[in-house]
A = this chain, B = another copy of it.
Amino acid sequence: MTIQTRRERERAERERLIVTAARELAEAEGWDAVTTRRLAAEIEYSQPVLYSHFKGKDAIMAAVAVQGCADLAAELRAARTAAGGIRESLAAVAQTYTSFAQRRPALYDAMFTHLVDLPFATEEAPAPLWDAFGELLLAVEPIAAEGDDPGLLTETFWACLHGLATLTRSGRLPEGAHESRLALLVGHFAG
């Protein structure tokens, strides 16, 4: 039995290694640089081992995305709990969210831009996804008017943040005025 468990432990460790290497490589040089050959070289194994762990490159990206959601959830939680009032919490969360997208673009893309076959809005969604959404929910809930569904409001607010993050990062919105737009958004939701 212990041999079996050691095998599984080593295997799990290697899987972790793959995901970590993929994330670091993506964050350093972008997802285009994350080829299966390059990734295999990075973990010092041959290409086909990747496919014994994941169905394909997309599945690896999905695993990275789940990790990223955990990171984002942690950052959001820290920002929210550090903020004072209701409106301040919302502003802090919004600021942290867009900052995350700008600081870690490759990670953000894997999470929310790249088309990936992760269950999202269902119960089968991985826990870190729910955690991240939950953090947004905790910040948005207090500003919901009576009769509003907080979940729906959170989804809407999230979408707004996502739009600001992606359009700004792709150069479709001038970067300089980002803070102003963020303030405008928070004002319209919490005002």
Please report A residues at the B interface, Cβ cutoff 8 Å: 112-113, 115, 120-121, 148-149, 152-153, 155-156, 158-164, 166-168, 170-174, 177, 180-181, 184-185, 188-189
Which B-chain residue is minimally distant from A125 (CB atoms)?
B172
Q: How far is the CA of A174 from the CA of B159 in the complex (A)?
A: 12
Q: Which residue of B112, B162, B163, B177 is within 8 Å of A158 (Cβ)?
A: B163
Q: What is the interface of chain A mostly: helix, strand, loop, or mixed? A: helix
Contact A159 B152 (CB under 8 A): no
CB closest residue in chain B, given A160? B160
> With A148-B184, A153-B184, A181-B159 as given contacts, are A121 and B173 in contact (CB-CB < 8 Å)?
yes
Whole-angstrom distance between the alpha carbons of A158 and B57 in the complex? 32
22 sample A-B contacts, Cβ–Cβ < 8 Å, listed by A number: A112-B172, A113-B113, A120-B171, A120-B172, A120-B173, A121-B172, A152-B180, A152-B184, A156-B160, A156-B164, A156-B181, A156-B185, A158-B163, A159-B160, A159-B167, A159-B173, A160-B160, A160-B164, A160-B185, A161-B163, A162-B166, A166-B166
Alpha-carbon gap, A159 to B168, bound state (A): 9
* CB neighbours of A113 from chain B (8 A): 113, 166
Chain B nearest CB, measured from A42 CB (Å)? 24
Chain B: CB-nearest residue to A189:
B188
Structural contact, A115 and B184, CB atoms closer than 8 A: no
A147 to chain B, nearest CB (A): 11
Considering residues A115, A153, A163, A180, which has the most beta carbons from chain B within 10 angstroms of its beta carbon?
Answer: A163
B163 and A121 contact, CB distance less than 8 A: no
Closest chain B CB from A165 CB (angstroms): 8
